[in-house]
Amino acid sequence: MLIKPHGSNALNSLFVEDVNDRNQAIEDASKLPCLNINSAAAANLVMLGAGYFNPLTGFMNLLDAMSVCKSLHTTDGLFWPVPIINVINQKPSFSPGSRIALLDPNVDGHQIMATMDVSSVEEISDEQLRIMSGEIFGTNDSDHPGVATFNALGKYLIAGEVQVLSLSYFQADFPDTFRTAGQIRSEISQRGWQTVVAFQTRNPMHRAHEELCRMAMERLSADGLVVHMLLGKLKSGDIPASVRDECIRVMVDSYFPENSVMVTGYGFDMLYAGPREAILHAIFRQNMGATHLIVGRDHAGVGDYYGAFEAQEIFLQRVPEGALDIEIFSADHTAFSKKLGRVVMMNEVVEHTADDFVLLSGTRVREMLSNGVAPPKEFSRPEVAKVLMDFYQIEDA
């Protein structure tokens, strides 16, 4: 028996699965007023269409958005950590009651991505924007990449239910990796897994990540692991999704037992919202059928904006009992211990100083890889290092 989706007994995917129905809906939508949406709204549509944002049926209005920001609940009581909104720069010509077509900003030709039944068009005040940004990201610092992106979206909030007609570029660009929540639930069921650990990543997986997943599986007596990588937009300088995908696959194929790991991905833009985003990660991992989510140090963080364990603490402090069925596997930083000759959770070993661990900064790792030098085997598997060296040497050429 799979874990129930969040907020409902059955998964509510908003994507029109039947090809004939979808083609007819696209033809009908071509006659509607069109709205060019931004990448953040498009990412929300992919997640709504793929069932990850179950049980939402569309974009929130301003009242719900503010309620979620302040109380982590919609006005009708649904537990939800961040507003799922469609915001634009200019006041639209259409009004509430209109049906419109939403155009994909991330594909050539800006194809129709969804239809939307507009329930409200509202202007966000500067004060409301400041409150939302501060609550979501814990800061209004414009140097925070999530704050900068959020504040640039616009001032007009378009709310209403949607019918999703395209999952953007993800199915075409990542046919072996992109999966909907329903597809992952189906595969988990086919494999007969009951206890399922999810690992969120926006980076290649090195030894520390690999061993963290293995620790979680062993301690939870898990049947399987779902490595669930973000395939959408990151901040400048991050490694492209295709390279991360290759790194993760070569690591799984080389170092995990056969049929113990599913390598999958989802189409969303990174928010860098730290604790709030960790809760969102938990919700959509529950929707895809995972029973546990690994939450490590500075989960979904960026820079020094969040405390090392804030993303774990929020589950104790602000998630009401019974609000989520998925459980959190809390983890400290993992690293290779020179004394013990294996990767350990750093808070679980005694008589260790920083010099007793193999620790490398991201900057140092990039320098090594760019120069064709593999990091120590205690830090990175040689197969993973080779993929990254090839990428950096092409990028830096």
What is d(CA 202, CA 239) in angstroms, rounded to the nearest whole number? 8
- Residue of 371, 330, 326 whose CA lies nearest to 347: 330
Residue 237's SS3 state is coil
Cis peptide before 55 (omega within 30 of 0): yes
What is d(CA 140, CA 151) in angstroms, rounded to the nearest whole number? 9
Q: Are 390 and 371 in contact (CB under 8 A)?
A: no
Has 202 been annotated as catalytic? yes
Which residue reads 């059928």 in tokens? Answer: 289
Q: Are 270 and 174 in contact (CB under 8 A)?
A: no
The residue annotated as part of the active site, out of 22, 99, 202, 366, is 202
Residue 309's SS3 state is coil
What are the structure tokens assigned to 339, written together?
A: 């004394």
65-91: b (≥16 Cβ within 10 Å) or e:
bbbbbeebbbeeebbbbbbbbbbbeee
Has 347 been annotated as catalytic? no
- Using alpha carbons only, what angle is made at residue 222 by residues 256 and 258, rounded to the nearest 5 degrees? 25
Burial class (CB in 10 A: 0-12, 13-18, 19+), 168: buried
The residue annotated as part of the active site, out of 22, 99, 191, 203, is 203
What is d(CA 133, CA 266) in angstroms, rounded to the nearest whole number? 24
Burial class (CB in 10 A: 0-12, 13-18, 19+), 259: exposed
Q: Are 308 and 298 in contact (CB under 8 A)?
A: yes
The catalytic residue positions are 202-203
